[in-house]
Amino acid sequence: MAQFLVFIAFSIFTVNASYGLSIDEDSGSVASTNPTLAEEQAFIKLFGSKDPDEAATCGQLIESRGFEYEVHYVTTEDGYILQNFRIINRYTRESGKKLKPILLLHAFATSCSAWLVNSPAELGFLLANLGYDVWLINVRGTSYSTNHTHLDPEDPQFWDYSFYEIGIYDVTATVEYIKKETGFGEFFSYCRTVSEKLSMTNFVAHNLLITTIIVIGFSQGTIQLLIQMSAIPGYDKNYDLVILITPIGFLGDKSGLVGAIPIPLLRQLLSLRNGPFPPMSAITFGSFAVLCERPILTPICVNVLGGIFGFNTQQLNVSRTFVYTSQIDRSSNKNGLHILQFIESNHLRYFDYGEDKNYELYGSAEPPEFPFYKINPNKLVFISGLNDQVTTPINVQNLRNSLCDRVDTDHVITDPYFNHGDIVIAKDAFPLFNDIVVRSIEEKMLHDEL
């Protein structure tokens, strides 16, 4: 049954359609920041939108909760222009305090909205209310980040990337931008200017809290961080804490949803061309959201979404199913292919281009694995679930075994039914998940103050 649902969902995702919709004049600000969502909103409005969060942009979601925001455009080393968001809590900003930056990394087929749409338990707003400087990345290829210094999204070369490039270029460029914008992460350069006045020991003890940032990754967001920290030696010096939610370093256990994926069929379809996955998502998911509003079809939508992302239906607010559907975003076919390779090899490796090109690029017939043993586990926090159908307990244990030491904190969610996608949609997200994140951060902050 699960394999059938995944196949049906994939078929829906790959439908191309264009309805020539006109966008309302008053949606100009939406169109300028996200033309895809502007088109999706226009389509949904034809059928009478049932919820203001439906196909809402991150800016709209932030403002609807009483916050302000900034849009920051970050250009990567390979030319992609990312549209990232910063949540502004005007009350903490007016206090004049230097706020600790926290960067949130979304999962595959989602965007910044993943951290903002689970009303009233959104992690992004919780952290902003607690006085943190919250940043939200939108990686290349999402509906927010389709600009490039010289490539057009119509060019197949634009979509020639996977989670490797996202981790190496997108995450790194965003962290460097946050460092420059906030002054955090500038410890070494600043230390040189005060070394004659303060001993190094005293400087570190009194200033560590304002020198590094916190990063939180969910699902594919954890893959990107593991790649970055293993492939760029010493880069973890920029991080005070790295929270990996459903940490993915292995996907070989096929006892969960992974076992339902028709890998040969998907590999064949995704190999046809470089392009977005899914294509034309505005109308495709606008239609899906409209259908999911219909009570008679809601159970089908719940089962399809659960079959793809892994939800505990007892934790799902069924009345918002169409909202969650409307927020699904896109990636690239190559990224999907790399994930399939990841499943088959059961370890994060560079992209497998075939023996000839592998020799040319890597000097070996097989692509090399990312060296997890080089990652500093003392900065890592793992949050995983007993019933996660993607990041299964076996997969998480394999990741633990690949590290050089135990992680700083290793929390397993106590709810025996808590599943992979529940992280961003569960009704009990606060007690089961958000509270763990907050306590991990506060314990780290308190420890560093002592």
Bond into 156 cis (ω within 30): no
Q: Which of 345, 229, 329 is nearest to 284 (CA)?
A: 329
What tokens does 400 get? Answer: 């633990």
Please list the helix, strand and coil fractions of the chain in percent, rounded to the nearest 5, in that order: 50, 15, 35
Q: Which of 332, 323, 328 is nearest to 309 (CA)?
A: 328
What tokens does 357 get? Answer: 């090109």
192-220: b (≥16 Cβ within 10 Å) or e: eeeeeeeeeeebeeeeeebbbbbbbbbbb
Q: What is the largest CA-CA distance in the chain?
A: 72
Phi, psi of 328 (to 5 degrees): -65, 140
How far is the C-alpha of 162 from the C-alpha of 262, rounded, in Å?
20
Catalytic residues, by residue number, are: 219, 388, 420
**Residue 114 DSSP class:** G
Q: Which of 122, 153, 110, 120 is nearest to 329 (CA)?
A: 110
E strands in 177-238: 213-218
Cα-Cα-Cα-Cα dihedral sign, residues 431, 448, 215, 248: negative
Cβ 214 vs Cβ 114: under 8 Å: no
For the beta carbon of residue 258, count every other beta carbon within 10 angstroms: 20
How far is the C-alpha of 63 from the C-alpha of 77, rounded, in Å?
31
Radius of gyration of the chain (CA): 21
Cβ 39 vs Cβ 21: under 8 Å: yes
